[in-house]
Structure 1
Amino acid sequence: MQASSKQLERVAEIVSRYRNFSGAAIPILQEIQNELGYVSHEFIAKVSELTKIPASDLYGIVTFYSQFRLEPLGEYHIQICHGTACHLAGADQITEALEIAVNTKCGSTSKDGKFTLEKVACIGCCSLAPVISVNGKIHGRMTPDKARGLIRDLKGGGSRGN
């Protein structure tokens, strides 16, 4: 996805708030992530240009910390819990059903930009295992059939995920 001129202007505004760039790389990147939803290659190049922090250092930060994303999330961010309770209750089968239903693998976004699938260690709703979260809304006692139905609903413009 190509960065817009407005996004690059926003990156420049964020960088301009920092007086001392030494040690500010992580806060700058966090602020970009929080405001724009991801830290693209173009954003990294702009930060590097403005701060003189080598782009390789910025890439090192973005790829080391799991909080950062190089690509924007899909319209529906689906997190599949793989904590112990969910794993034992069938998280692998739910993951497989979701990957097939949205035609993408976990850790990526569907080509239409609609769905991002992500495995997470634990959502914290073990009594409802297995659990998925769609844009922060918890769906418990999930089954592969329920997961496929949820995706059908979301593809049809439904709001069950929100």
Structure 2
Amino acid sequence: MQKRISNIPFSGTKEQEAQLFEIIEKHKNEPGAIMPVLQEAQNVYGYLPIEVQQMVADGLGVPLSEVFGVATFYSQFSLTPKGKYNISVCLGTACYVKGSGKILEELSKELGIEAEECTEDGKFSLTACRCIGACGLAPVITINDDVYGRLVPEDVKGILAKYE
């Protein structure tokens, strides 16, 4: 049995599945079809669980490993669902040196999830990224389009409270 990457079970609808099959059919005979199919599949499902990747592989007649390779290589793809509020912690050099690892630990503790997971209620997801280009504000997190900088772990509770 394959281990799930996400803590939330996959629950696609028949409508989503029908959309995915249309997408696959539209791109089936194009060279390099995996990339556009995955992009559109992520638009339909919001992320790319292994079940969707398997449907793409079967539909395009390629090995699952090839689809998984594309899905994991490009940062635009997510293998886990995103919450209403996606929290991204910058772990780039400047942020990490200034304590973003501690910020990530505190967020994980407060939310009860690890990086690349989503809370059971779907409200928050937590991701780690390499650099968001705000090194002067290190350490930095983003919550959707909001940017928070010059953080210490004690700031986490107050920031999360704004989204409750």
TM class by smaller structure:
0.7 to 0.9
1:41-78 CA-to-partner distances (Å, cap 9, x unmatched) read: 33223323332223343233323434322221112111
Matches of 2:136 and 2:57, distance apart in 1: 46
Following superposition, the deviation at residue 19 of structure 1 comes to: 4.9
1:63-106 CA-to-partner distances (Å, cap 9, x unmatched) read: 34343222211121111112222122221221111111101111
Q: Secondary structure at the match of 2:56?
A: helix
138, 146, 152: which one pairs with 1:143?
152
CA contact 1:102–1:151 (8 Å) conserved in 2: no
Identity within the alignment, %: 37
Following superposition, the deviation at residue 150 of structure 1 comes to: 1.3
| CA root-mean-square deviation | 2.0
Following superposition, the deviation at residue 21 of structure 1 comes to: 4.6
Counterpart in 2 of 1:87? 96
Question: Which runs of at least 4 in structure 1 moved beyond 6 Å after TM superposition?
Answer: none
Relative contact order, CA 8 A, sep 6+: which one is greater? 2
Following superposition, the deviation at residue 151 of structure 1 comes to: 1.4
Matches of 2:134 and 2:99, distance apart in 1: 15
Matched residue type, 2:157: R
Relative to the length of structure 2, the TM-score reads 0.82
Counterpart in 2 of 1:61? 70
Counterpart in 1 of 2:7? none
1:2-43 CA-to-partner distances (Å, cap 9, x unmatched) read: 111111112112122225154211221122124432112332
Q: Report matched runs for 1:15-94 at 5 Å.
A: 15-94=24-103
Matches of 1:15 and 1:120, distance apart in 2: 30
The 1:43–1:132 alpha-carbon spacing in structure 2 relative to 1, beyond 3 Å, is same
Counterpart in 1 of 2:108? 99
1:91-136 CA-to-partner distances (Å, cap 9, x unmatched) read: 1221111111101111222233222111111111112121100012
The 1:54–1:88 alpha-carbon spacing in structure 2 relative to 1, beyond 3 Å, is closer
Relative to the length of structure 1, the TM-score reads 0.83
3, 17, 24: which one pairs with 2:12?
3
Q: Secondary structure at the match of 2:106?
A: helix
Aligned residue pair count? 155
CA contact 1:3–1:42 (8 Å) conserved in 2: no
Q: Secondary structure at the match of 2:27?
A: coil
Matches of 1:145 and 1:133, distance apart in 2: 16
Unaligned segments of structure 2, at least 5 residues: 1-9
